[in-house]
Each structure stands twice: as structure tokens, then as C-alpha cells.
A and B are shown apart, each in its own frame.
Chain A
């Protein structure tokens, strides 16, 4: 009898929701064939965006599939007081208030882009208004593709359609598995990520965003999960990623740092932000920002120059006083600096010759300059 009715039972019946006091996603001792010795534990709030990264083959997709009820597993999973997994019993995938994306997109063959989106809308957990859907189609550049059979889409187009299909589903828990890996980077950082952030601000959900691109993750999330050899860690603050990048293997390449600033005004395509008492300027802005909003953006380590004195009038609009926190030599005769301003850290790459000429010292204050066009993700 229990089996027949078991999908109806809420976690409260087991006292789980009350016991832990969590209303978000709670994972306890989740075991799949991949992690028999390292059961996964996870506790996330009901709303918020979390990055998810780690080496290929470490088990990220497996965890997502297990959470979605699409892979055999055992343990406990509950969301908002509803039991999704208890031992080896699991609530059917379509009955969970969750949407899962796949790396191989899995658009519905034999149908057009419009058909695919219409189906997602029809079975949406919280149907989006017409204006919201039209706005997303516009922001993702899908309008010209609507009538096309999905077989005719390029890899990047298919990914954008698949991501949009997930957004149309508007589930309380949204799991994304490298959803934009084949899309042009500049389109992702400058167009799609701001549109996604704005969407989730209007339609809050618990989002887990899997990616190998730290820039994507930094722009979307303040915290990140990390999977390595089937061991799950996190959520850790994105700021720790900056430290990771300054010392890790990726230090060979230039990196981007996430900073947050307050919107002051947006006029004639120029966005004015304040970071402490310093005003910053950004052009090439896609998103719609209101004064008072706290917005994240990325700053490339190669886009920053450093000077000892406050520079005079220059075409470079931004000048941020910053303290030198650390220096790490990296490849190609460059030095990576970790700078701090208003409690936030960011990286800058300069040549060794510049370091010698400026006689840089950790703990001293310098002036970091960068152009208005180098702020991305706004």
C-alpha cells in the first residue's frame, strides 16, 4: 500500500522538514554508483543562485541527475518540506518542482523551436506572463529561430533554446549543466548573463549553475559548489575563487575578478556606479539598472594599469585607489597582483619590468585605472 501512495507523502510525515528547520534544498547522505564512499551532503536556501564547478568527470552531472530523480540513488533529498528521496524510494522526476538541463541539450526532435518552447510553457510549474516570455525570446535572440526545426540549429543556438525552455518551465529548483558552453563568450557575459540575473530577480528560484567558466559563475553567483573526484564541497564564497585563481593553474592565463557596486545613474548608455566613495563608469551596458541596485561585474586582470600617483585627466574614466594585498609571479614575465578596495579583492596583471620600475610593495596604496568598456556583465 505504501508504495502506491508513497509519492504523496510529504517530508513532514517523517518529521524531516521540521527537524532540520530547513525550507530549502536539503541533501543528506546521497549515494550513487559514482560516490559510494563519499556520500553527498548539501544544504541550500529556497532561493538564490549558486555556481557549480569542478574537473570534468568529477560527478557534477551525476549529482544533478540524482537530485532530479533521473538516476538511481539512495539517501535523503527534500525541498521546501517535500520529501523527494527517502532511502531508495524517489518521487517521480516530473512530480518534483525542479527543472534539469542537459549538456546534450535534448531539444524535442521533429518539432520547431516554437513548439519546444510552447511545450515547456504548457507544462510550466509557474506559467510566465506573455510579456516575460516575449522579453526572454528577445533577450536570447531566439525570435528569428522560432519557426526553425530544432535539427537545423547550430550548437550555440540549440543551447540558447534549451536554456530558454528551462526558464519557461520556471520551477522552484533549476539545475543547469554547462548550458552556455557553446555560446560565444562575449555574448554570454555581455548579453545573456545580465538578462538571466534580471529574470531571476523577477522570478526568484534556487538555481544551480554548472560551468567550467569562472567568469560566468562569478557574474551569476556569490557562492559556488565544488566537485572533485566525486567529493562535494561548498557552497564556498566566490571570493575564494579569486584566491584560487591567483595561485592555481589558471594563473597562467589572464583572469577576471568579480566586484560589486551600487548603481547611481544610467544616462546615454553610460552607467555610473559607486564603490565606496569612488565613482566608476561603464559603457556597453545591456541590462536595465535602477539607481540603488547592487550589481556585480567583472574586471579583466589584463585591463588594469597601476600608477603610484593619482593620474591627471585621462580618457581612461575609472581610477580606483586600492591596496596591494599580494603579488604572484605568473608565466610570460608577468606578475599577478591581488588588490583590495572597499573590502573587495580583484586581480591585475602587470609585467615584471613594471613591478621593478614602480618598486611595488605589499600593503601600500596605488591607483588602479581601467577603461569604461572593460567592465563586463552589466
Chain B
């Protein structure tokens, strides 16, 4: 498969964006889902709805509002631009912020389901053995939720790979800075370069399929672990 330099640049940018977004969302999503899973408040449902919004909103709506919020013409955007030393719209950083918000439900929902399922039972058992809440999260809840974490990361990564509307609204299509594969593909179609469009489309199909297969395999092997683990751990 022959890809030209611009397409390879778009592919590299897309992978970088997906990796950074997934890593950031893992850091944000775990405490958020943990808090939500045992938050006894009537506001919980409101927060869950807000987190779920990107799933149902047209990406252009989200992109439009983000464009306004991150624009240097308005307060939040100008503060952030000043703090980060660069404008956020039409930049890679702006894309990352938009992707984090856009993919938030794909990270939080699987974690929330797993934490709610295991949470009460396992954290009470951990507390009964003298483990403080944070230790219970890190040493009990996260290992028990390993399949959910792998699946959440895979979904987030794959979803970010396929972003189009939000990217176009907030990032445009600056090669090497904001031009991701889906946007490059759109531009090829616009220019009636169907061969190049085919190559990029096929590449996305193959990469996302492989990713989801890998996540399934990792998720399953996380449940059925190898028998040859060190057995002396119990004896310290």
C-alpha cells in the first residue's frame, strides 16, 4: 500500500492524538468513574448524563461550542492560550482537549459499569481486611476491572482514530498539526482522488479491527491468567 508523505503524516498525527487522548482519559476516567460509582447524590444522574452527551450529540455541535470556548476571543480560551503559550484552536493541543471531551463516555462508561458491579462487594472486603479506600481502588478494584480498563482504552483509542466532525470544527486540516486521517480522506474524496481515499479508508478499517481484536484477546487473557505465576507471593 503506497501512501504519500502527507497521508503518512496524517496517520502519524492520528495515532499520536489517539494515544495522548487515551492516556489522558485513563488518568481522568478512573477517579471520575470511581467517584461516580459510590456517589450517593441526586446529582449523580445529572453528571452521568453530561458525561454521556458526546455519545448522542452531533460532533459538529460539540465542535462548535468548543470552538467558541477555546477561541482567544473569549475568556476561557484566552486564559488557556496564555497559560499554554499558544492559541488552542487550530492546534494539536486544542485537538487533544476536544478529543478528551468527545471520547469521555467511551472511557468512563465501561469503567463505571465494572466499578459498580465489583465496587460494593470488593471494596467492603478490602476495608474489612484493613485496606484504606485508595489502596482498595489501586490494589483490588483496578485489578478486578482489568478487562473493563482494556476495553475502555481500546474503545477510546479507536473512537479517537475515527474523529471527524469535532476535528474539522476545531482544528481544520493543517498538515502535520491538525490534519488527521479521516480529514485527509475527506479531502481526497473532495479532490476525486479515489485511489488515495481507498487506501486511507482501508487502513482505518484494518487498524481499528485489529485494535478491537487485540483488546478482546487482552481482556480475555486478563481474566484467565497464566497458571505459572510466582506462587510464593502469599508467603511474602
Contact = CB atoms under 8 A, between A and B. Distances in A.
Interface of A: 68-70, 92-94, 98-102, 104, 106-125, 130, 133-134, 137, 146-149, 151-152, 165-166, 169, 171
Contacts of B225: 110, 112, 149
Given A108-B143, A146-B231, A130 B236 contact: yes
A68 B124 CA distance: 10
Interface residues of B, number: 36
A149 B227 CA distance: 8
A114 B236 contact: no
A97 to B, nearest CB: 8
Contacts of A92: 127
Given A110-B143, A118-B233, A169-B129, A93 B227 contact: no
Interface stretch (B131-139, B162-170, B180-188): B131-139
Contacts of B224: 149, 151-152
21 contacts: A93-B128, A99-B128, A102-B128, A104-B121, A107-B125, A108-B140, A109-B122, A110-B144, A110-B222, A112-B231, A114-B229, A114-B230, A115-B143, A116-B234, A118-B234, A119-B126, A123-B129, A133-B234, A133-B236, A149-B223, A151-B223
Interface of B: 118, 121-122, 124-133, 135-136, 139-140, 143-147, 222-225, 227-236
Contacts of A119: 126, 129, 131, 139-140
A94 B127 contact: yes
A113 B228 CA distance: 12
Contacts of A94: 126-128, 130-133, 136
A117 B229 CA distance: 14
A106 B130 contact: no
B234 A121 contact: yes
Nearest to B121: A106
Contact of A70 (B124, B228, B236): B124
Contacts of B234: 113-118, 121, 133, 137, 146
Contacts of B231: 112, 114, 146-147
A297 B125 CA distance: 33
Nearest to A109: B144
Contacts of B118: 109
Nearest to A115: B233
User: Mostly helix, strand, loop or mixed at chain A's interface?
Assistant: mixed
Contacts of B147: 110
A70 B229 contact: no
Given A115-B233, A118-B234, A165-B129, 19 more contacts: A70-B128, A93-B128, A94-B131, A94-B132, A99-B129, A106-B121, A106-B122, A109-B122, A110-B222, A111-B144, A117-B233, A123-B131, A123-B135, A124-B130, A133-B235, A134-B235, A146-B231, A147-B227, A169-B130
Contacts of B126: 94, 108, 119
B227 A108 contact: no
A371 to B, nearest CB: 39
Contact of A99 (B122, B130, B143, B232): B130
Contacts of A166: 129
B227 to A, nearest CB: 5
A99 B127 CA distance: 9
Contact of A147 (B128, B144, B146, B229): B229
